[in-house]
Structure 1
């Protein structure tokens, strides 16, 4: 699993993005469990993810309402199928409002750029 850590910081909140090839919801959940074996990720406030499969789109907001849909839209634009993308957030004590969606987009963009290189 490719992980880009400490990529965004805003008002105390910190973000990371991870991903790996993945073909099903069960496989995605297994990859999330693997990611959360790292204590730092297990203690994260949100591990939001999205995945496009042959069966259709799958997402999990993990309490960060709407963030999974942001990830799915970006995967659809890139036509990236069978690849799990997870955006992790550690809440810093201040609400970010709509900026949190921009940060999710930026995190996914950084991940997609890293895949291309």
Structure 2
């Protein structure tokens, strides 16, 4: 499990991104459960994720409507299958509007860059 913490901060909200190899929806649920064993991540406002599987993309917005689709689109562009990416947000008290989608995109971009520079899936 690769975790990049504190990748973005805006108006009190903080973001992290995590990911790793994942081959099924059950494995994705287990990945999220493992991530939430870290108390910090279990207390997050949103743990949004996306996973491209052969023939069936899976996503979970975890209350951040539309964020899972943003993650899936980026995974599709990258051609990264069987690898879950989770964007975590701790709400800082101020609504971010459309900026929250840009932050999700940027968090995934940071993750993918780290993955490419420091060893693939």
> Which residue in the other structure is 2:15 paired with?
15
Q: Runs of 5+ in structure 1 lacking a partner?
A: none
Q: Stretches of 4+ moved more than 2 A in 1? A: none
- Offset from partner CA, 1:62-105 (integer Å, 9 cap, x none): 00000000000000000000000000000000000000000000
SS of structure 1 residue aligned to 2:64: coil
Q: How far 1:54 moved relative to its partner?
A: 1.1
> Which residue in the other structure is 2:24 paired with?
24
> Which residue in the other structure is 1:103 paired with?
103
- TM-score, normalization by structure 1: 0.99
- For 1:12 and 1:63, the matched residues in 2 are separated by 18
Q: Runs of 5+ in structure 2 lacking a partner?
A: none
- For 2:55 and 2:62, the matched residues in 1 are separated by 21
> Which residue in the other structure is 2:37 paired with?
37
The aligned length equals 117
SS of structure 1 residue aligned to 2:15: strand
- For 1:83 and 1:26, the matched residues in 2 are separated by 13
Q: How far 1:115 moved relative to its partner?
A: 0.5
Aligned residues: CA RMSD = 0.4
- For 1:55 and 1:28, the matched residues in 2 are separated by 16
